[in-house]
Chains A and B, each alone.
Chain A
Amino acid sequence: WINTTFMAFCHIYSLVMAFRACLEEVQLNETLTHLKTESETLKSKLEDERAKLHDVELHQVAEKVEGLGQFVMKTRRTLKGHGNKVLCMDWCKDKRRIVSSSQDGKVIVWDAFTTNKEHAVTMPCTWVMACAYAPSGCAVACGGLDNKCSVYPLSLDKNENLAAKKKSVAMHTNYLSACSFTNSDMQILTSSGDGTCALWDVESGQLLQSFHGHAADVLCLDLAPSETGNTFVSGGCDKKANVWDMRSGQCIQSFETHESDINSVRYYPSGDAFASGSDDATCRLYDLRADREVAIYSKESIIFGVSSVDFSLSGRLLFGGYNDYTINVWDVLKGTRVSILFGHENRVSTLRVSPDGTAFCTGSWDHTLRIWA
């Protein structure tokens, strides 16, 4: 009878364990359901809070502002030398030098006044999708399909082999889509196809902070103007634009109104807003203090994606480079297009206004860069 009792105990024990497992699973499912409900509630609360403050449109507020006249902007310089699509460019703080990178793996530093090439580096990979000039003007950073961001110090000696002094700083697990030095030559911010952004120390190559939150490739980033503090905005294939706190790694605001990939983000000069350009053929303006989209720059006739956006110095004009080879110039306040510029013979892939606002530069799949003023 000891056997039978023992068997009975085992039986009861296994029943109890099975019951406990069931109970745990039910509890887990309940918790999951609770969390899902809470997240839905919070999402609609967020929408309500944002809607409450939507008392007027930006262009309505700007009705009394004087309209802009005709703009005469032309190509003033054409920089020829890349052997394939130009993917990215950046201005030097000296307002005349430019660094550009291309699908053929070349990174070139130009003097935009004279159109002379000052330096050229061949990267070990093709599709160099990102490049940036260091604030000191003494180095450039670049990367792409190699999943890295490397820094090249620029030497005064034109014959020196720049590739020899190359320093690998960032390592991602997918392509590098954008990079930018912070206020000094010492730190670099990167974004990647691996869905993250990261802040790196240039000297040691150490990862200082990583930023997780995008659900797909991050395509672009822009640092807030230095007066505004330590934040940056990123845009990605998940159609979201996220604003991040650089110190904590926290996402502090998130905007999801675009209908396709966000290819470019750029802060408004005051730091209170940012613009975005997307494959959905629109540019949009998001105000950070109102925490919502406040303007859409679009036309029925514009059906090709925007690759790159930047503001003029006062923030009144928004320049957009499009995949239909044109540049559209928008009145930021009134929401209307003030000019359309032709010249490139293929997609405009990158666009930046010069540091003193006297000109802007575009790079294109037609292998050239153009300076407009």
Chain B
Amino acid sequence: LNAAPGRAPRQQVRFLPAPAAGGGGAVELVAARVPVLADHPLVRGPRFRRLKIGAGHRLDVKASGVFVLGIGRGNKLLTDLYNCHLTKVYTVGGLFGKATDDFSDTGKLVEKTTFDHITREKLERILAVIQGTNQKALLMYSNIDMKTQEAYELAVKGLIRPMGKSPPIITAVRCLQFALPEFQLEIHCLHETQQYLRKMVHEIGLELKSSAVCTQVRRIRDGVFTLDDALPRTQWDLQSIREAIQNCQLKVEAELEKTL
């Protein structure tokens, strides 16, 4: 950023002595534009010494995926986006047969169980129940009076969402892959932490009368930002960041207007 050409230095009008138009040794005062010395880059120093960077929703050390950052004035947009309470989408990978103390595969082993009685059908049934109970929680924490007509209309459109603090709520779950002992789920959720998702994998294992640990948590969408907008490590340079900011600007503005 500092290498980019900076602002042109301010100009001032000074009357400088210059030799006269005619001959002789007389000196005239001629008006000329001269750059102000105080604006010289060697005097001023680098333009940017610090950048204010804020982070969006937290991402664990063991998890990976989309991580939203705001620079400078974008931090205010970050708080607005947080108040929009948009859903995030994760792909969670799990493994049947083990139970550990921190619910992931790097933890201390607690128990090993059999898992050959588990079928995709049973897993989908459990996922349907999880969705059902979370749907109820969604309606309850949204603090809308259920007796009003507008509550009914919002419920029909599916727009009821808790707009304040709430415990983690899962709006949708789907099984993407199932190959014993591994499986992969796609989870849409609100106000969650990655550890909560790992705990959920563990509880799914318990419901299926076996045990499960979480091998992978990857965020693929955070509100309006998807994997396509995200910059991989090789593209962490000024040009790509600029392009990315420009591409997302419109989307962010549209979403903020819609909600607030």
Q: Do A and B bind each other?
A: no
